[in-house]
C-alpha cells in the first residue's frame, strides 16, 4: 500500500487499488479478503479469534465447523497487507 501512496494515488487511491487486488484473487481468497475488510468496520476492534470465527460461519448453518475457521496467516495473506494484528491486544 505504501508504494501506491508514494506513486501519487493518495490514501483513498491506495485503498481502492488494494481492494481491486483482493477482488482479483482466486475465489476463496477473494471472499475472505473482502469479508475481512467488511468485518474490520465493526463498532470496536475485533480480537483476531472473533474475526476468524465470524468468517468461519457458513450461512444457513447452525453449527461452527472448526475446519471452516481461517487461520490468521491466511487472513493476512488474503488481505495483501491491508491489515495487521496488534499482538499485544490480539486485535485485527
Q: What is the pLDDT of residues 52-66, one digit of tens each?
A: 888 888 888 888 888
pLDDT of residue 34: 84
**CA 61, CA 59: separation in Å to the nearest integer?**
6
Residue 68, in any domain of the structure: yes
Confidence of residue 2 (pLDDT cuts 50, 70, 90): very low
Residue 91 DSSP code: B
pLDDT of residue 35: 84
Residue 32, in any domain of the structure: yes
Region 19-24: mean pLDDT is 84
Residue 90, in any domain of the structure: no
Q: What is the dihedral of CA 72, 35, 40, 90, to 10 degrees?
A: -10
Is pTM beyond 0.75? Reply is no
Number of structural domains the chain divides into? 1
Boundaries of domain holding 36: 26-78
Residue 31, in any domain of the structure: yes
Residue 33, in any domain of the structure: yes
Residue 35, in any domain of the structure: yes
Amino acid at each position: 500500500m505504501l508504494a501506491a501512496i508514494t506513486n501519487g494515488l493518495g490514501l483513498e487511491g491506495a485503498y481502492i487499488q488494494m481492494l481491486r487486488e483482493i477482488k482479483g484473487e482466486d475465489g476463496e481468497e477473494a471472499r475472505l479478503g473482502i469479508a475481512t475488510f467488511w468485518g474490520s468496520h465493526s463498532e470496536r476492534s475485533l480480537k483476531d479469534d472473533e474475526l476468524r470465527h465470524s468468517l468461519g460461519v457458513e450461512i444457513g448453518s447452525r453449527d461452527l465447523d472448526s475446519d471452516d475457521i481461517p487461520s490468521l496467516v491466511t487472513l493476512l495473506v488474503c488481505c495483501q497487507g491491508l491489515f495487521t494484528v496488534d499482538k499485544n491486544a490480539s486485535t485485527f
